[in-house]
């Protein structure tokens, strides 16, 4: 028997945790942040850029780009616009 056989897969764990209304509310509240982070990473990868290369194009430090992509930074609209310009994209904000 493998010592990892009893570990719960993360998706199963998450699904179980999201049954708690408080956890679900917190998780759902972070969705827009996850969308922004995912969009930046996907755009960077589609252009074949490293964080360091994006840093040179945007004028934003590689460390700050890393923090944004990890979700530990709260970038301003100005910062998002600089990243978007470097990635040949636009920032679109909607209230729906």
The string of pLDDT tens digits covering residues 70-95 is 999 999 999 999 999 999 999 999 88
93 falls within a domain: no
Q: Provide, rounded to the nearest whole percent, the portion of the chain with pLDDT above 90.
A: 73
Query: Residue 57 sits in which domain range?
Result: 10-86
| Mean pLDDT along residues 28-47 | 93
Q: Residue 30: left if φ>0, alpha if ψ -120 to 50, beta else—which one?
A: alpha
76 in a structural domain? yes
Does residue 35 form part of some domain? Answer: yes
Read off the CATH number of the domain in which 46 is found: 1.10.260.40
Using an 8 Å Cβ cutoff, are 34 and 66 in contact?
no
Residue 26 domain-assigned? Answer: yes
What pLDDT shows up at residue 24?
A: 93
Domain count, the chain: 1
HEC states along 24-47?
Answer: HHHHHHCHHHHHHHHHHHHHHHHC
């Amino acid at each position: 028997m493998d010592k990892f056989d009893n570990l719960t897969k993360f998706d199963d764990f998450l699904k179980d945790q999201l049954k708690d209304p408080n956890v679900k509310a917190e998780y759902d509240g972070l969705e827009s942040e996850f969308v922004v982070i995912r969009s930046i990473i996907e755009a960077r990868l589609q252009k074949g850029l490293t964080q360091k290369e994006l840093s040179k194009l945007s004028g934003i430090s590689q460390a700050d780009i890393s923090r944004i992509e990890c979700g530990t930074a709260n970038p301003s609209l100005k910062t998002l616009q600089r990243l978007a310009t470097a990635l040949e994209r636009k920032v679109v904000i909607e209230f729906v």
